[in-house]
Structure 1
Amino acid sequence: MDTLQGSHRINEVDHFYKKVIEAHREYFHYWLHHTLFHWDFFLSLFLAVVPWVLWFIFRHKESRDRLLFAGFFVIITTSWLDFWGTMYGLWFYTGKVLPSMPSFIPWDFCLLPVFVMLLIQYKPIRSPYLKGLIFAGGSAFIGELLFQWIGLYVMTNWSIFYSFPIYFVIYLIAHRLSKASHFAEV
């Protein structure tokens, strides 16, 4: 079939995708033999399940939809940024639950969104800027350093000082989204 792109360009791009597919295939075999059912796999699995169990227990049931709306924003944003960071070689992860994208499920899909949702619901009158500082400081200076010390997170061209303002802005946007009151009927 003739396309607007032209077969030469399609073949060039196909060459790059085949390299990516081969790299993923090699990593899957490594993960299968060196990560699956090892201590770091179980730690990552624990970190993927426990935050959601805690959120389910301690959530404000009447605010569930608002909290999940903010939490899904955090999931989408952090997993997208994490994808870009790993794709451009700024950091990488070991001990992954799944050998695929997103980069690190416990961090992007569990720890960060649950942390944000719990902060939003705890003392909701408190300053979102203070809570944003707590989230950014806890995530960058405690979470990232702890994951680095364990060996699950390896920074190659990144600094936790870059992460701090990003986490702060993510929290402020999530907080704002949790306060949204103008949803139209479907």
Structure 2
Amino acid sequence: MAFEKGLVKSEKAFEQYTQINTAFADIVKNEFMTTWQWWFGIALFIVPWLIWFKYRKKDSTGRLLLAGLLTIIISLTIDLAALSLGLWSYPMILLPLAPFLLLPYHFSLAPVGVMFALQIKPRMNSLLKGIIFSAIAAFGGMNFFNAIDFYDPKSWSTLYDFVIFLSLYYTGYWITRMESFNNLDKVRTEKERD
């Protein structure tokens, strides 16, 4: 009985969600698409990747892309949890497919930023480099996005963003330093000898 009632409520909520998505699509089409902010957001999807492909450390591309993918997954997970708790929001909607997310941040800026931070001065103290990256991303980037209305932190502290960026950096750092990359190559070489 409770399960069927839950299904009915779920279907009703889904219909409301569909109506909300339609409203967001209308907002993007009629209000945002003609603004410089919308086009700037679209450029933030594309330009960081173009720059990274040109200036990436080519012999580390696989490791860096793995760090970037992990950054995407973790940043999306954190963001979805924070959005569902109402900790922050994204007033600027770029695509009605995901109206609650700042997609250039998740799919371009965060992963490319982490990948660049990892490849620049690879022998530098990782804690110092992580702090510098996190400070630029949190205190510079997030405050900039707040100023141009891409991001509304509500009562969320920029210091918390700093900790999130430091965690993203160190997750990427950890995955690029895994020795198992070399081990797979060694196993293949040993099999080729046999």
Give the TM-score, by structure 2 length.
Answer: 0.86
Structure-2 residue corresponding to 1:132: 130
Spell out structure 1 runs of 4+ moving beyond 6 A.
none
Deviation at 1:88, TM superposition (A): 2.5
Percent of matched pairs sharing the same residue:
29
Deviation at 1:59, TM superposition (A): 0.3
> Aligned to 2:89, which of 86, 89, 92?
92
Instruction: Give yes or no for contact 1:132–1:172 (8 Å, CA) kept in 2.
Output: yes
Deviation at 1:5, TM superposition (A): 7.4
Per-residue Cα deviation, 1:65-97 (whole angstroms, up to 9, x for no partner): 000000001111112222222232222223333
State how many pairs are aligned.
183
Instruction: Give yes or no for contact 1:44–1:96 (8 Å, CA) kept in 2.
Output: no
> Aligned partners of 2:148, 2:26: CA distance in 1, in Å?
23
Deviation at 1:167, TM superposition (A): 1.2
> Aligned partners of 2:23, 2:84: CA distance in 1, in Å?
16
Structure ranking higher in helix proportion: 2
Q: Say if 2:66 is the partner of 1:69.
A: yes
Instruction: Give yes or no for contact 1:69–1:177 (8 Å, CA) kept in 2.
Output: yes
User: Which 10-residue stretch deviates more, 55-64 or 129-138?
Assistant: 129-138
Structure-1 residue corresponding to 2:29: 32
Deviation at 1:178, TM superposition (A): 0.9
Structure-2 residue corresponding to 1:59: 56
Cα root mean square deviation, aligned = 2.1
Q: 1:125 to 1:39 in 2, by over 3 A?
A: same
Q: Say if 2:156 is the partner of 1:167.
A: no
Taking the TM superposition and a 5 Å limit, the aligned residue runs for 1:2-17 are 6-17=3-14
> Aligned to 1:22, which of 19, 22, 36?
19
Where does structure 2 lack aligned partners over 5 or more consecutive residues?
A: 188-194
> Aligned partners of 1:122, 1:88: CA distance in 2, in Å?
36
Structure number with greater Rg is: 2
